[in-house]
Amino acid sequence: MRAADIADQLSTVLVTEEQIHAKLDEIAARVAADYAGKDLLLIGVLKGAVMVMADFSRALPETVPMDWMAVSSYGAATKSSGVVQIRKDLDTDLHGKHVLIVEDIIDSGLTLSWLLENFASRGAESIEVFALLRKPDAAKVHVDCKYIGFDIPNEFVVGYGLDYAEGYRNLRDVAVLAPHVYS
């Protein structure tokens, strides 16, 4: 589904599918160079990072193992509560691994800050972050992020894995959800 198919539910398209794929290719090339010869593990944050992880991992030139963690700080709301709940923990031991957290979006930074502390306590050799999207104006805590796809305004966005009440994840573009949809 493209943004044009549901234009009456969206305010603005921020990033197209084509722009996303070009950025994923660019960042995958940087990651491949930065981690050459290292034991890299991709960790995706469910559910939003599914699309990013799938396309990003396919853009990498070598096989890379991946694991998933499900955490929540939103529920069905449009703003983070700041309270992180683990819904699914990792299956992989992080000891000695070079971890790259693959995120769909950094909003307040609270969930990601918590994840970084949690993973550091598990003995990872290194931990870096790749976020496709970042909302600088929404940050409540500073999070070091080595790889950023796009900075976007502090609006409620959907698409490319991002949802509103479990809908819109399959939208191929990233767009601002019209307020009449969630008001």
Q: Find the range with the poorest average confidence among 107-111, 130-134, 165-169.
A: 107-111
- Non-local CB neighbours of 19 within 8 Å, separated by 6+ positions: 150
Q: Count of domains in the chain?
A: 1
pLDDT score recorded for residue 121: 94
pLDDT score recorded for residue 71: 87
Rounded to whole angstroms, the Cα distance separating 75 from 131 reads 20
28, pLDDT greater than 80 = yes
**CA angle, residues 5, 56, 147, in degrees to nearest 5:** 105
As a whole number, the mean pLDDT across the chain is 93
pLDDT score recorded for residue 77: 53
Query: Which candidate in 104, 107, 163, 173 is catalytic?
Result: 107
Residue 2 lies in a domain: no
Specify the higher pLDDT residue, 19 or 142: 19
101, pLDDT greater than 60 = yes
- Non-local CB neighbours of 169 within 8 Å, separated by 6+ positions: 47, 48, 50, 51, 158, 159, 160, 161, 162, 163
For the question of residue 107 being annotated catalytic, the response is yes
Residue 6 lies in a domain: no
pLDDT score recorded for residue 73: 67
Rounded to whole angstroms, the Cα distance separating 121 from 118 reads 5
Residue 182 lies in a domain: no
Query: What's the mean pLDDT in 150-155?
Result: 97
Domain boundaries, position 82: 17-153
Residue 81 lies in a domain: yes
Report residue 65: phi and psi, to 5°.
-70, 155
Residue 180 lies in a domain: no
pLDDT score recorded for residue 74: 56
122, pLDDT greater than 70 = yes
- Non-local CB neighbours of 32 within 8 Å, separated by 6+ positions: 60, 61, 62
Bridge partners (DSSP) listed for residue 15? 174
Domain CATH number, residue 67: 3.40.50.2020
Residue 69 lies in a domain: yes
Query: Could you check whether the bond before residue 47 is cis, i.e. omega within 30 degrees of 0?
Result: yes
Rounded to whole angstroms, the Cα distance separating 14 from 157 reads 9
Q: What is the pLDDT of residues 55-89, one digit of tens each?
A: 999 999 999 999 999 987 655 555 555 678 889 99
pLDDT score recorded for residue 82: 61
- Can you give the three-state secondary structure of 72-113, one letter per residue? ECCCCCCCCCCCCEEEECCCCCCCCCEEEEEEEEECCCHHHH
Is pTM beyond 0.85? Reply is yes
100, pLDDT greater than 70 = yes
Q: Per-residue confidence at 36, pLDDT binned at 50, 70, 90?
A: very high
pLDDT score recorded for residue 108: 87
Stretch (H or E) spanning 149: strand 147-151
